[in-house]
A and B are shown apart, each in its own frame.
Chain A
Amino acid sequence: MPSTDIVIELDGVEKVFDVRRRVGLLRRERHEVRAVDGISFTVPRGEVVGYIGPNGAGKSTTIKMLTGILTPSAGRVRVDGIDPSRDRTRLARRIGVVFGQRTTLWWDLPLKDSYELVRRMYRVPDAVYARNLDACVELLELGPLLEVPVRQLSLGQRMRGDITAALLHDPEVLYLDEPTIGLDVVSKTRVREFLRDFNAERGTTVLLTTHDLTDIETLCRRVMVIDHGRVVHDGDLAGLHAVGRSERTLVADFARELPPVELPGARCVRVEGPRQSFAFPAGESAAPLVAALAAHHPLVDLSIREPAIEDVIARMYAAPAPAAG
């Protein structure tokens, strides 16, 4: 029953950095930065989890502890049953990692040579290698790029190249740190669709950090928000809206210009000539508002806008205490 076992497990994980700052000519001041401040969560096999938060929230630090690059200051980490910092190389055979900001490939080598090196380094059996490479080359349209040195690839091409390299050895877990950063819309869509299909087909567990919430909407059933080194939300996207007290917007076009309309259960946030916008809680139905408007005012057209998730998260960060649950 592979769907019920836990692949990623964090229990009270902390990471404290000792930052030395120079004060004056020779004196240095030491102070502690708690990049990760007591994070606990588990991820069952096959799940795709979005791990989001503002810059400096501790996302990358968490990923580095999950890959064995960094040793946690406290707490317990297990990935596929392995303690990453103690058994780094054994774990490395089981995980694939893609950093959006920088490549893990060999800069001066053609993609094909990089892949060949990965094959031999990870001791991937020929049949497995051929199957994975062929699938990635076809789906990510890498064919014409295999002979090109990595440094000559565009960002979108390089990202597809990096994703392929991370999947050649059948990883149990795939970490993606900002996989769509800096990509154009077409490349983003292609990468998202590939990851979605790959997860559906292989059941690879995916942990994804991103600033682009369309990534989350397309890929993740579960989203975790981290801020100041703590998990402040863990649930689905709808739950995130509720916690963030996000609002939908009802845009009404009237037959003529009107003074701001008073509407029970909503507030008028904008008046532009005959068009007025009303904000109301995302969890509420729009029907009574529409009925009330149509009954009392000369209505021409109506539309409803979903909240921008950026705003939802910004609101969560603004909220004083984590109300997650």
Chain B
Amino acid sequence: MADRPVPPAPAGAVADEALPGAWRARYDARRGPGHRAAEGMRVYGLVVGMWVRSTMAYRASFAMTALGNLAATALDFVTIVLMFGRVHALGGFTLPEVGFLYGTAGTAFGLADLFLGSMDRLGRRVRDGTLDALLLRPAPVLAQVAADKFALRRLGRIVQGLAVLGWSLARVDVHWTWWRAAMVPGMVVCGGIIFCAVFTAGAAFQFVAQDAAEVQNSVTYGGNTMLQYPPGIFARELVRGVTFVVPLAFVNWLPALRVLGEPDPLGLPGWLDFASPLVAALCCALAAAAWRTGLRAYRSTGS
């Protein structure tokens, strides 16, 4: 019934224009998934912009936290460098090669963390009932949850990841062809999307289990740390897990093995090294379905 277009207004149409709220009519025609996605992006941008402005009201404070963030993540790579003071290779990887893994995983994760990093707060919102406020707004809940408390300081991780990546690219012993070169930004983008899907699926799970934020963090933050090291140093079962269960191996491991010309410890078919965009799309579809299921469960059971 509600889907039916509004019938042409009868004689009183002119008077109706003067009614409060008459201005709304022109937005009612915009419907369908395309408009929904566009509206989601628009509202995400609005809320993010507001948080950025509100952060920038205290520039000095922002500069300090951003620098602190950068320094903390920078030290993270320094420990790896120090480790290579003692050993020459780790799981068959040289320092620049580990830097390549580190840089791609760190940048991809940093992007997802910047865009959707606030989503692990969903469980708390479900528990204390503040999610209801988002359901009262004319915008997709996912966009509102993702944009909530957008933290620009998380740029620090991306900057550091890109710096390590740049440093390693200058040093890895790779015969650069066009497809190898294209795989590097591909890894960062697809990896970022895969991490975004993991963030979303984790948040969806929090509709059911409100304390699941730590489980999600172990997959996202833990997964990121894992991807910074060569797959050869981990137990095979673990590597299988991040290939087939939570497909983080497609963020950088499998494509990086191809770029660097290293053997795959699992001996998987070679075409999988190029499957990251496909896996990213699949992850998004699954995460979206999980999100819709979670939200539907919330709306039919309450908090």
Beta-carbon nearest neighbor of A101 in chain B: B129
| A interface majority secondary structure | loop
B2 touches A172 (CB 8 A): no
B23 to chain A, nearest CB (A): 5
Q: How far is the CA of A71 from the CA of B296 in the complex (A)?
A: 9
A190 to chain B, nearest CB (A): 23
B138 touches A17 (CB 8 A): no
User: Number of B residues contacting the other chain (C-beta, 8 Å)?
Assistant: 33
26 contacts between A and B (CB under 8 A): A17-B301, A67-B135, A68-B135, A68-B299, A69-B132, A69-B135, A69-B136, A70-B300, A71-B296, A73-B300, A86-B2, A88-B135, A89-B39, A89-B138, A93-B27, A99-B133, A104-B136, A108-B149, A109-B50, A116-B50, A123-B27, A128-B23, A169-B21, A170-B21, A171-B21, A172-B21
Closest 5 CB pairs of A and B: A92-B138, A104-B133, A170-B21, A170-B20, A89-B138
A93 touches B23 (CB 8 A): no
**A202 CB-CB contact with B under 8 Å:** yes
**A83 CB-CB contact with B under 8 Å:** yes
B16 to chain A, nearest CB (A): 9
**B177 CB-CB contact with A under 8 Å:** no
Beta-carbon nearest neighbor of A149 in chain B: B54
Q: How far is the CA of A89 from the CA of B143 in the complex (A)?
A: 13
Which residues of A38-89 are within 8 A (CB) of B? 61, 64, 67-71, 73, 81-83, 85-89
B136 touches A67 (CB 8 A): yes
A195 to chain B, nearest CB (A): 16
**B139 CB-CB contact with A under 8 Å:** yes
Beta-carbon nearest neighbor of B131 in chain A: A69
Residues of chain A within 8 A (CB-CB) of B162 are: none
Residues of chain B within 8 A (CB-CB) of A99 are: 132-133
Q: How far is the CA of A95 from the CA of B21 in the complex (A)?
A: 11
A113 touches B54 (CB 8 A): yes
Q: How far is the CA of A169 from the CA of B53 in the complex (A)?
A: 24
**A121 CB-CB contact with B under 8 Å:** yes
Which residues of B259-300 are within 8 A (CB) of A? 296, 299-300
Residues of chain A within 8 A (CB-CB) of B33 are: none
With contacts A68-B135, A109-B54 known, what are 9 further pairs, Cβ within 8 A?
A82-B2, A88-B135, A92-B138, A99-B132, A113-B54, A121-B43, A128-B20, A128-B23, A170-B20
Beta-carbon nearest neighbor of A103 in chain B: B133
Task: Tell whether A117 pairs with B300 under 8 Å between CB atoms, given A69-B132, A92-B136, A109-B54.
Answer: no
Task: Tell whether A81 pairs with B50 under 8 Å between CB atoms, given A67-B135, A94-B21.
Answer: no
**A120 CB-CB contact with B under 8 Å:** yes
B46 touches A120 (CB 8 A): yes
Residues of chain B within 8 A (CB-CB) of A31 are: none
B302's contact among A67, A70, A104, A202, by CB below 8 Å, is which? A70
Task: Tell whether A117 pairs with B46 under 8 Å between CB atoms, given A70-B300, A71-B300.
Answer: yes
**B1 CB-CB contact with A under 8 Å:** yes
B239 to chain A, nearest CB (A): 33
A308 to chain B, nearest CB (A): 31
Beta-carbon nearest neighbor of B4 in chain A: A81
A81 touches B47 (CB 8 A): no
**A320 CB-CB contact with B under 8 Å:** no
